[in-house]
Amino acid sequence: MLTKYADYSIRVLIYLAERPGRKIPITAIADAYGISRNHLMKVSQNLAHLGYIIGYRGKGGGIALAQPARNINLGQVLVQVEPNFRAADPDALPTVTMADGRFHDALDEAGRACIDKLTQTTLNDLIAPCTVTPIDKPSRCTAIQ
Sorted by where each begins, the domain ranges of the chain are 4-127
d(CA 115, CA 43): 20
Q: Are 90 and 102 in contact (CB under 8 A)?
A: no
pLDDT tens sequence for the chain (145 residues): 678 999 999 999 999 999 999 999 999 999 999 999 999 999 999 999 999 999 999 888 899 999 999 999 999 999 899 887 765 555 565 666 778 778 878 877 888 888 888 899 999 999 866 555 555 555 545 443 2
| Choices 1.10.10.10, 1.10.357.10, 1.10.630.10, 3.40.50.2300: CATH for 4-127 | 1.10.10.10
pTM of this prediction?
0.77
